[in-house]
Amino acid sequence: METKLLDGRALAGKIQEQVANELAVMQRVPKLVVVLVDPSEAIRIYVRNKLKRTAAVGIQTTVQELSPTVSTEQVVAIVKELNQDKLVDGILVQLPLPDHINTNTVIETIDPNKDVDGLTSVNLGRLMANMPYLVPCTPLGCLHLIHQAKADLTGLNAVVIGRSRLVGRPMAQLLLAENCTVTIAHSKTRNLAALCRTADILVSATGQPGLITDNYIKPGAIVIDVGISKTKDGHITGDVDMERAKGIAGWLTPVPGGVGPMTITMILTNMVQIIKQNLDNK
Ligand code: NAD
């Protein structure tokens, strides 16, 4: 069987063009603030990449880089100020935060209507109640990629590996809303390979390089690889063993060039959602 690659870069490019056009019509320059605490070099590069994309579509983005010794209370105070600032449309606290900061406390402080990453419990609750507003960017990007392979997902079996707040849980909710029969697997799941072989759609978000081999894939399945790991020689790799998946999967996302570009692009579409909502409320 021929395996088709789902090109995240190409799709991201198309959506970015649409976002730029929508924002141009609105004649409004949205403002996004990224809060950054003690980033690794990889995160710094990732944020720089986000800034390039936001600037390209006409979103004004500033980075508030805080000292590595900042406390939870200090980060909370800064987020509260941004919540109050009428000129700020979107707030993004870049994760992971250092261990001494309570990530949940910080996330929960973000005004849910400025929560461009969709990670507050209000936005996750809206998703769970099937009233989505701002949806976490990575699973939203995955759904766009899945739709490149198939428009109607009704009745398909989906297995999502990973149960994080950032990826696995919201991904499962999105697939459920598309009428899939969804199973969430995780590190304690038994007989993972056999379970995965039942999946018409397999989304792997573990960060375990090479976990998904031919033995985990139903012939013709749509396989979405969210994982990002670094090999010993410094290359980026996903959860899926590409060589062994090719010829069995029907569709497959490459790493890099699959989910990554879509994640950044969904920040832009969430910003458009916020601006539309703000204009409607005026
Ligand atoms: P996480 O560490 O919070 O969650 C990992 C999940 O994988 C857990 O629920 C765990 O139970 C499960 N898991 C781990 N090992 C497993 C195994 N052997 N078998 C079955 N399940 C296993 O991570 P996360 O934030 O959800 O991110 C997951 C991966 O996706 C990471 O590699 C991360 O770098 C990547 N990621 C990529 C993007 C992107 O834009 N491409 C965005 C976010 C996260």
Ligand 1 pocket test: pick from 144, 228, 266 the residue with the most ligand atoms within 8 Å of its Cβ.
228
As a whole number, mean pLDDT of residues 151-159 equals 98
Cβ of residue 168 lying under 6 Å from some atom of ligand 1 = yes
- Structure confidence at residue 28 (pLDDT): 82
Residues 153 and 254 in one domain: yes
State the residue range of the domain holding 36: 28-112
Q: How many domains does the chain have?
A: 2
Contact between residue 259 and residue 141 where contact means Cβ atoms under 8 Å apart: yes
- Whole-angstrom distance, CA of residue 120 vs CA of residue 106: 9
Judge whether 10 lies within some domain: no
Residues 61 and 171 in one domain: no
Judge whether 255 lies within some domain: yes
Residues 50-67 pLDDT 10s: 999 999 999 999 999 999
- Whole-angstrom distance, CA of residue 272 vs CA of residue 74: 29
Q: What are phi and psi of 91, to 5 degrees?
A: -125, 130
Residues 108 and 141 in one domain: no
Residues 100 and 155 in one domain: no
Residues 218-253 pLDDT 10s: 999 999 999 999 988 989 999 999 999 999 999 999
Residues 155 and 250 in one domain: yes
- Structure confidence at residue 220 (pLDDT): 98
Largest CA distance in the chain: 55
As a whole number, mean pLDDT of residues 181-189 equals 98
pLDDT band at 145 (very low <50, low <70, confident <90, very high): very high
Closest CA to 148 of 247, 245, 226, 250: 250
For the record, the structure tokens of 32 come out as: 């996004």
User: Measured in Å, how far apart are the chain's first and last C-alpha atoms?
Assistant: 54
pLDDT band at 36 (very low <50, low <70, confident <90, very high): very high
Residues 107 and 142 in one domain: no
Query: Is the pLDDT assigned to residue 164 strictly greater than 80?
Result: yes
Residues 57 and 141 in one domain: no
Kindly report the CATH number assigned to the domain that includes residue 244.
3.40.50.720
Judge whether 273 lies within some domain: no
Residues 71-109 pLDDT 10s: 999 999 999 999 999 999 999 999 999 999 999 999 999
- Structure confidence at residue 1 (pLDDT): 86
Kindly report the CATH number assigned to the domain that includes residue 73.
3.40.50.10860
Contact between residue 171 and residue 185 where contact means Cβ atoms under 8 Å apart: no
Residues 249 and 156 in one domain: yes
Query: Is the pLDDT assigned to residue 7 strictly greater than 90?
Result: yes
- Kindly report the average pLDDT of the chain as a whole number: 96
Please give the number of the atom of ligand 1 that sits closest to the Cα of 229: 32
- Structure confidence at residue 78 (pLDDT): 98
Residues 86 and 47 in one domain: yes
For the record, the structure tokens of 14 come out as: 């198309």
Respond yes or no: is residue 117 known to be catalytic.
Answer: yes
Residues 185 and 87 in one domain: no
> Which one-letter amino acid corresponds to residue 227?
G
- Residues with Cβ within 8 Å of residue 183, at least 6 apart in sequence: 157, 158, 159, 160, 195, 198, 199
For the record, the structure tokens of 4 come out as: 């088709």
Cβ of residue 266 lying under 6 Å from some atom of ligand 1 = no
Residues 87 and 143 in one domain: no
Check residue 92 and report its DSSP letter. E
The model's pTM: 0.97
